[in-house]
Amino acid sequence: MGTTSRALEVTIISGEGLRVDRRRQVKKKAFVVVRTNSQNSRSTKADFDGGSFPAWNEKLVLEMPAHARFLTVEVRCKVNSGDKVVGTAKIPVSDFAGGYFPPNYLHFLSYRLRDSGGERNGIINLSVRVKGTENVIGAATCAAAAASSLRPWMGGSTVVGKFSGGVVTGVPVWMA
Amino acid sequence: MGACCSDVRGGQQAVGGGAQQRSQATSNAAAAAGGGGGGTGPNDAVDFFYRTKGVQALFTQIELSLSASKLLDRDIISKSDPMAVIYAKKRDGSLEELGRTEVIMNCLDPVWIEKINVAYQFEIVQPLIFHVYDVDTSYHKLPAKMLKLKDQEFLGEASCVLSEIVTKQNRSLTLKLHNKKGQVGLRNLGTITVHAEETIASRNAVEIAFRCSHLDNKDLFSKSDPFLRISRIVESGGSVPICKTEVVNNNLNPIWKPLTLTMQQFGSKDNPLILECFDFNSSGNHVLIGKIQKSIVDLEKLHKEKIGANFVLPSSRHHTHEKVLKGQLFVDHFSERKLYSFLDYISSGFELNFMVAVDFTASNGNPHSRDSLHYIDPTGRLNAYQQAIMEVGEVIQFYDSDRRFPAWGFGGRTYEGSVSHCFNLNGSAGSFEVEGVEGIMAAYASALRSVTLAGPTLFGQVINTAADIAGHSISCTNSKYFVLLIITDGVLTDLEETKNALVRASDLPLSVLIVGVGGADFKQMEILDADNGERLESSTGRIATRDIVQFVPMREVHGGQISIVQALLEELPGQFLTYMRTRDIKPQTATTPASAPPQDHPYVV
C-alpha cells in the first residue's frame, strides 16, 4: 500500500457470450478499453473474427494511481457512428493488490460484464500483474517461516485483501 | 435448410492441439474408465485409446529397478544367486505378483537389470511387497519366469507404498530386509533399494502458430472458411489425424490460434506430417483447398526463415500430377516446451497439503445414538466421516512432507459456549494442526465428546481460512498445493457466501473436495461443482478462474473395487497440473529447497 502510483500489466485474454442489444450476437471488431482513472486508459486492438467469443491475448501496461479503487474494463465494438459499449466490469483493486500476494504475482481473473442497462452481458477473462511492489508484510512472514520452519500463518482473525490496523511486528530479514 | 441440428460451433472448434484442457478430458475419461474397467487395475486398452487422442493418460506407467546389498549367503561353495520378486498387496490382503528380476549369479550386492512395470495411480494407496530369493543351482537353465518360488531359498522381505518411492527426491527408497514374520531377526538380512522411473516416452511438446495467404475461394457467395488438419503418416502408408485448428470464417488469409503438439502425437521431429487446409461446410462436406507435407523440423525452418510453403492440390485425373497453388502456409510462432508430469513435480519437492473440515451440525444426530452419522462404533467399524477421512488422508499423507494437517469443525457449539463455524478440531485455542491421519481421527473422536452439535451448515468461514493459508504460502513458495476436504451431511445454508469464498479462492493453489454423507438431497452441491459448464459467480460480479470444487455423495452405489472417494481424488493431479502449467511453474531441478525467495518464481505472462 504505497503512496506512489504503480504500473499494472493487464493482459486481456478473451471474452465470452457477448451480445449487442441483448439479442444479437456481436458481429465483429470488439475491442477492450482498460482504465484506472479518467487520465489512464489503454485499448486493445479489435478482434475481427471472434464475434461473441473474441480473443485478444494482448498485454496493456498502465499506471494505477495510489488511491485508485477500481480497474474499469470496457468491451466496445465499432459501429458506423463510432463506438458502442457492449459491457463493463469494475474490478476492485483489492482483488489483485495489497494483502499477502508476493510482488509480481500473476492473477488470473474473470468478471461478469454488464451492459449500459445493467443487464448481464458475457464474461471477460484477463490476467493482472502489479509490477515491482514492495510487499513488506509478505517478506516478514516469509523470513519468520524460514527461521522457525513452522507455518507462517498461526490463525487469528482472517484479513482478506485489506489491512485495518492491528499490531505490527518487526522481524529482521536477512538475505538468503 | 441449414444447420438446424448439428453443433456447427462445436464442429468449428480446434481439436487435439492444446495441452491445457486436460482436466475436463481427464474427468470424462476417468468416469468412463471407472465405470467400464471395474476398477481391478489399469486398463491398457482404455489408456491407449485416450493417448492416441492426445489426452493425458489416466495413470502413469512406472518402471521399478531393484538392487540389494549385504544379502545373506546361503550357498556353501559360492555366494547366493539372488532374484527379486515384487508383489502388489490387494485390499483383501492377498498378494499379486507384478514381476520378477533375472537371477544374478554369485553376488551378495546384486544390481538387477530387469525392470518391473507398475501402473501408478494417484488416487489409491498401492502397497508393494518385495521378496528376495536365492535360486538353487539346478534351476539356472530355466528362464526366471518359470522358477517355482516355493522351491527357492527365501532371503528376505521388505514392504512399502508406491507413493513413498515417487515422492522422494531421487525416487529411490532403501528398505531393510526382514524375515517373513516381520522381525529383523538376529542376522542382518541386508537391504533392498527400489528406484522408480516414469516410462512416458517424452515430455517434449511444440507450440506452433500457423497462418495462410492467398487461399483459393471455395464458397460461392462469400469467401472460404478455412481450417487446418494435421495428420501423421503411419507405417501402413495411411495417415492418422492428430489435431485440427479452429475455423476462421470468411477469410482467405487466416491466422489461427497456436496449437500444442506433443511428441506422443507427432512421433519424432523428422516424421513427415500432412497439413491439409479445408474449407469448412456446416453440412460436414469440407472441401480440400490444398495440402502440404512437412515434418516438425521443416516447420521450424519455415519459421526461422520467415518464408511460406506453397500448398498443392492433387489432381483427380492424374494421380501423380499435383497442381502447385498460390496459397502459402507460414509459421508465425514456433517454440518448444516441456510438459512436465505430475510425478515430475512431486519428486522435485512439490507437496500436496491436506486440510479437513468436519460437519458438527445437529442434523447428524446425537453421537451417542446408533443412527447418528457421528456414532463411533465400539467394534471398530468406521462411520461415514471416519471413512472419508481415512480414504482421502491415507492417499494424500504421502505427498505432505511434515504430515501436520489443519483440522477444523464447523456448526458446533464449543466449550466457549457460542456456535463456531471454524473451530480447531484438536480443541486447542492457538494451533489448528494435528499429526498424521491418526491425529485427525483422535481429534475428531475427542471433539465429539466436547462439542455440542448445533447449526446451521455454513462453509464460507472454513473455505476462507483455507484460502488464507494457501494465499500466505504463495509469498514464500510456489511448490505447495492445498487440498481441503469438507465432509458434510446436509444442505448449505449460505450458498451465496460459499460461492463468494470459492470464487475468491479460485486463483489460489487450492482444491476443495466435498463429500456428502447421509441421505440428504445434495442437488445444491452440484451447483458448486460446476461440471455442467456454468462458472461460479460471486455477488460482486467476479467469476471463478477455475473450477476448484469436486463434490461426491458417499452413498452412491459403487461396484467393484473403486471407492467413491477415489473418484474424487482422480481429479486432483489434473487440477494441480492446470494450476502449475497456466503459470508456467516448472519442477525444481536444482537442489535448492522449496522455499526459494519470491524473485526466483518463474512467472511468465
Write phi, then psi, for B330 (nearest 5 degrees). -120, 150
Chain B residues touching A104 at Cβ < 8 A? 598, 601, 603
Q: Are B192 and B215 in contact (CB under 8 A)?
A: no
Which positions in chain B touch A49 (Cβ < 8 Å)? 248-249, 251
The 10 Å Cβ neighbour count of residue B2 is 8
Mapped to the 3 state alphabet, what secondary structure does B428-488 carry? CCCCCEEEHHHHHHHHHHHHHHHCEEECCCCCHHHHHHHHHHHHHHHCCCCCEEEEEEEEE
Q: Tell me the CA distances in angstroms from B602 to B262, B300, B351, B389, B605, one per residue in order.
A: 22, 26, 18, 35, 10
Q: Is the pLDDT of residue B218 over 60?
A: yes
Interface contact B603-A106, CB threshold 8 A: yes
Q: Is A65 on the interface with B (CB under 8 A)?
A: no
Nearest CB to A152: which of B432, B472, B543? B472
Opening angle at CA B577, ends B66 and B598, nearest 5:
100
Nearest to A176 among B257, B472, B597 (CB): B597
Q: What is the mean pLDDT of residues B176-190?
A: 76
B13 to chain A, closest Cα gap in Å: 12
How close B472 comes to chain A (CA, Å)?
A: 6
pLDDT at residue B317, as a whole number: 72
Q: Which of B507, B537, B540, B584 to mutate to test the interface with A (most CBs of A within 10 A)?
A: B507
Hey, is the C-beta of A163 within 8 angstroms of any chain B C-beta? no
For residue B466, is pLDDT > 90? yes
Q: What digits encode the pLDDT tens for the residues B534-586?
A: 788 898 899 998 889 988 888 754 444 457 777 788 888 888 988 998 888 88
User: What global pTM score does this model have?
Assistant: 0.71
Beta-bridged to residue B537, according to DSSP, are B543
Give the burial class of B431: count Cβ atoms within 10 A of its Cβ; 0-12 exposed, 13-18 middle, 19 or more buried.
middle
Mutate to test the interface with A, among B212, B472, B540 (most CBs of A within 10 A): B472
What is chain B's Cα-based Rg?
29
* pLDDT tens sequence across B274-296: 999 999 888 778 899 999 999 99
Of the listed ranges A153-157, B161-165, B328-332, the one predicted with least confidence:
A153-157
Q: What single DSSP character describes residue B201?
A: S
Which of B376, B358, B356 lies closest to B367 in space, CA to CA?
Answer: B376
* Yes or no, beta carbons of A110 and B545 under 8 Å apart: yes
How far is Cα A101 from Cα A94, in angstroms, rounded to an integer?
11
- The dihedral through the CA atoms of B457, B460, B465, B467 has a sign that is positive
> What is the mean pLDDT of the segment spanning B409-426?
90
| Stronger pLDDT, A67 or B406, i.e. the higher one | B406
How far apart CA B602 and CA A87 sit, in angstroms, is 34
Q: What is the largest CA-CA distance in chain A?
A: 65
pLDDT digits (tens, 9 = 90+) for B49-99: 555 544 444 467 888 999 999 988 876 777 788 899 999 998 888 999 999
Instruction: Tell me if the bond preceding B456 is cis, omega within 30° of 0.
Output: yes
User: In sequence order, what DSSP letters do the residues of A105-138 get, joined into one string?
Assistant: -EEEEEEEEE-TTS-EEEEEEEEEEETT---HHH
Dihedral sign of CA atoms B412, B415, B420, B424 in order: negative
For B507-512, what is the mean pLDDT?
Answer: 94
Q: Which amino acid is at B373?
A: L
> Do the chains contact at B476 and A154, CB–CB below 8 Å?
no
What pLDDT shows up at residue B12?
67
| Residue B80: per-residue pLDDT | 81
- Pairing outcome for strands A70-79 and A30-35: antiparallel
Closest-CA residue to B561 (of B30, B37, B15, B17): B37
* A129 interface with B at CB cutoff 8 Å: yes
Whether B605 sits inside 8 A of A9 (CB atoms) is: yes
At residue A102 the predicted structure's pLDDT band, cuts being 50, 70 and 90, is confident
Which grid coordinates are listed for B11?
A: 464442429
Q: Find the range with the poorest average confidence among A111-115, B4-8, B56-60.
A: B4-8
State whether residue B474 sits within 8 Å of chain A by CB: yes
CB contact under 8 A, B474 and A101: yes
A108 touches chain B (CB under 8 A): yes
Q: What are phi and psi of A138, to 5 degrees?
A: -60, -45
Q: B542, A95: Cβ pair inside 8 Å?
A: yes
Q: With 0-12 CB in 10 A as exposed, 13-18 as middle and 19+ as buried, what is B581?
A: middle
pLDDT of res. B343: 87
The 3-state secondary structure of B339-403, one letter per residue: CCCHHHHHHCCCEEEEEEEEECEHHHCCCCCCCCCCCCCCCCCCCHHHHHHHHHHHHHHHHCCCC
pLDDT tens digit string along B318-373?
Answer: 667 788 999 999 998 898 888 888 888 998 889 999 999 999 999 999 999 998 99
Instruction: Say if A90 is an interface residue toward chain B (CB within 8 Å).
Output: yes
Nearest CA in chain A to B462: A158
CA A124 to chain CA centroid, Å, is 11
Beta bridge partners of B260: B207
* B440-446 CB contacts, 8 Å cutoff, 24+ apart: B440/B356, B440/B389, B440/B393, B440/B405, B440/B407, B441/B386, B441/B389, B441/B390, B443/B407, B444/B358, B444/B385, B444/B386, B444/B389, B444/B407, B445/B376
Chain A residues with CB under 8 Å of B403 CB are none
Angle at B442 between CA B183 and CA B427, to 5 degrees: 145
Name the E strands within B164-250.
172-176, 191-198, 204-213, 226-233, 239-244
Chain-chain contact of B507 with A108 (C-beta, under 8 angstroms): yes
Which pLDDT does position B29 carry in this prediction?
33
Say what the pLDDT of residue B182 is.
62
Q: Is A172 on the interface with B (CB under 8 A)?
A: no
Between B139 and A88, the more confident residue is A88
For residue B183, pLDDT beyond 70: no
**B253 touching A, CB under 8 A?**
no
Query: Any chain A CB within 8 A of the CB of B181?
Result: no
